[in-house]
Amino acid sequence: MSLLWMLIVGGIIGWLAGLIMGRDIPGGVIGNIIAGILGSWLGGMLLGSWGPKVSDFYVFPSLIGAIVLIFIVSLILRSTGGRSRS
């Protein structure tokens, strides 16, 4: 059950970070989950553990980490040309 909650909360954090940044995360729902989980790890490394905790995620550091991650990914995609246009 813990894994399911981790996926749900990670997806919500990734989705919220995408809304705040005003950018779509590549990969849809899976991309949101990955951005939320990796953002949580990044936020924990940069900001530590503080704020409300939901399913092993500290909400504020996780959200800030996901925003930073989306910003970095969008810079990389922009510099490499992103998706090819047909």
Per-residue pLDDT tens digits for 15-68 = 999 999 888 787 888 988 898 899 889 998 988 888 788 877 888 999 999 999
Q: What is the pLDDT of residue 1?
A: 62
pTM over 0.95: no
Whether 45 is covered by a domain: the verdict is yes
- Quick one: tokens of 64? 């800030």
Q: What is the pLDDT of residue 85?
A: 53
Range of the domain at 54: 25-67
Q: What is the pLDDT of residue 67?
A: 92
Within 13 A of 32's CA, how many CA atoms are on the CB side? 20
- Quick one: tokens of 20? 């705040």
Q: What is the pLDDT of residue 61?
A: 92
Domain count, the chain: 1
Whether 86 is covered by a domain: the verdict is no
